[in-house]
A and B are shown apart, each in its own frame.
Chain A
Amino acid sequence: MNAEHDVEASVRELFRSHEHLASSAAPPDTLATLAKAALRRSRRTTLTAALASAACIGIATSVAASSLMPKHVDTRPATTAATRVPADLPTPLRDRALLVLDRFQAVTGPSSGLIVVAGPLLMQVGDWEPSVGQNKLALADGQVTAAPGGLTTTAPASGVVRWQRGRDLEVPLLTAEDALAAMASPKHDCDGCQPLVVTGATLSAMTLQTGTGTATVPAWEFSLRGTAVRLRYVAVDPAHLVDPRPLSQPSNDDFVYRVDKASVSSDDRSVTVSFVGAAPGTGSCESEYRADAVESATAVVVVIRALPRPTATPATVQPCVLVGHLRQASADLTMPLGDRPVLDPQSGRAVPIAR
């Protein structure tokens, strides 16, 4: 009997001593907010799909709660005079588009001749050998340093950016040291990984996706100790690059689709954007989408919305396989796209564009 009581006391203690695990979960009020957002969507879709999407949003939120959350952004955008907004656009989408346009305008300023970044500035040539697999972590955390003695490279003060569509732009270049410093930022602690050691740098070139098309840009190519992998980093002076700091999802209530890339019609009056959505169709696990363009004089934001569908009846309710489908939707412009970049309403950054 005594032993029985001992075990019961131990079980009690076992549970109590693991209470602290709850503190590494998302706070309950956050989960409640997510549940509400999921339920709101499930009025249109199915409960199973809502639960699954709630789980996805849960991940997104924990990322947003980290340092990625921009704090300097004014969330009440002022409507620019030259902005064109489709009349029937829901207010949250309209506000989001205007915020993105305003931020873009703020980083561009009145200057022209800037390069709008729409792809990574860093390019890796070759794959890490298995023996240096940790290098991937080191690079992701900005743990890259020059070998003792530094980089003894001289470079011309300027170089030429050449767009595939046939336009050239002369821009000032970074020194190899400055490019290395830019590549190694932001620096994070990578829990004991070996920093990459740069042994040399040569001026080369790389392909960069820009808001006005694919371009070939001057780049520094860095060789590294102990690996055949080389790293190329855009050598253009950052003062001539436009790259708004990424935004996060606005809130759990107003989901914004991420636009991955865009293509322009031959008459320059319509853009087709690619994004990830549900399978095409009108079933309970399917969706059709519509794209709208919100335009300013300097940029275009394309926002996506799922078209309403008949409410799911119990007979049609079924679990949905959460496979994302690559979807496309087109939006008409009120004037030719010209040199205006297409901005992703989720991150606020320019997307690669094909013409």
Chain B
Amino acid sequence: MQTFEQFAVARGPALLRLAVMLTGNAHDAEDLLQSTFVSLLRHWSRVAGAGRPDAYARKVLVNEHLSWRRRGTSRENPSDPGSLPEQAIPTREAAGPDDPGWRLLSTLPRRQRAVLALRYYEDLSDAEIAELLGCSASTVRSNASRGLASLRTVLDPSAQEVAR
């Protein structure tokens, strides 16, 4: 049976990347992966014993992320940095990438973004995503098409043509 350490070394990087796709930045991805690890550790013998710890870990990660806001324990309320008396020394990582598509992605509802990440980054089928999120495949499809529709304005030049 795979130990937790072996698993973390083997699959941690891939899970971290998925966490980045879900959260949009390295800091939140760190927090998300860490709380996922804690959840996994609590039942590790069962997780590893049941086989496919990888798929289970992904499920925990995604659902942890989706329930994060609902739990509301560590929620950030952004305010205008200019109105604060002191400012942190700006770093490149903290500011996040200045990419219109990536910014738009962060305005999508979490579930839509998660569906897009699982479909287009993890290359899962709609049936697999449905199983992972605990919803129907048609819900996955409608989430994906709504997410894509929002992104189309930025990502597809021809759509902008039409809009103009």
By a CB distance below 8 angstroms, the chain B residues around A18 are 20-21, 97, 99, 102
By a CB distance below 8 angstroms, the chain A residues around B1 are none
Assess whether B25 is in contact with A21, with CB atoms less than 8 Å apart.
Answer: yes
Assess whether B38 is in contact with A25, with CB atoms less than 8 Å apart.
Answer: no
Assess whether A11 is in contact with B38, with CB atoms less than 8 Å apart.
Answer: no
By a CB distance below 8 angstroms, the chain A residues around B73 are 48, 52, 319
A47 to B41, CA, bound (A): 12
A155 on interface, CB distance cutoff 8 Å? no
B30 on interface, CB distance cutoff 8 Å? yes
Query: B120's contact among A15, A42, A47, by CB below 8 Å, is which?
Result: A15
Count contacts on A: residues with CB < 8 A to the other chain. Answer: 42
Count contacts on B: residues with CB < 8 A to the other chain. Answer: 45
A39 to B40, CA, bound (A): 10
In B56-70, which residues have CB < 8 Å from any A CB? none
A35 on interface, CB distance cutoff 8 Å? yes
In B37-53, which residues have CB < 8 Å from any A CB? 37-38, 41-42
In A19-41, which residues have CB < 8 Å from any B CB? 19, 21-29, 31-32, 34-36, 38-39
In B1-18, which residues have CB < 8 Å from any A CB? 4-5, 8-9, 12-13, 15-17
A58 on interface, CB distance cutoff 8 Å? yes
**Least distance between B79 CB and chain A CB atoms (Å):** 20
Interface of chain A: mostly helix, strand, loop or mixed: helix
A60 on interface, CB distance cutoff 8 Å? no
Give 1 or 0 for each of B15-29: 1 = CB within 8 Å of chain A CB: 111011100011101
A23 to B12, CA, bound (A): 12
Assess whether A31 is in contact with B12, with CB atoms less than 8 Å apart.
Answer: yes
Residue among A10, A21, A38 with the highest chain B CB neighbour number at 10 A: A21
A342 on interface, CB distance cutoff 8 Å? no
A6 to B148, CA, bound (A): 11
Query: B26's contact among A8, A21, A54, A55, by CB below 8 Å, is which?
Result: A21
Query: A15's contact among B38, B74, B117, by CB below 8 Å, is which?
Result: B117
Query: A14's contact among B19, B20, B101, B152, by CB below 8 Å, is which?
Result: B101
**Pairs A–B under 8 Å by Cβ, sample size 6:** A7-B159, A11-B151, A21-B26, A28-B12, A28-B16, A191-B89
Q: Which residues of B contact A (CB under 8 A)?
A: 4-5, 8-9, 12-13, 15-17, 19-21, 25-27, 29-31, 33-35, 37-38, 41-42, 73-74, 89, 93, 97, 99, 101-102, 105, 116-117, 120-121, 148, 151-152, 155-156, 158-159
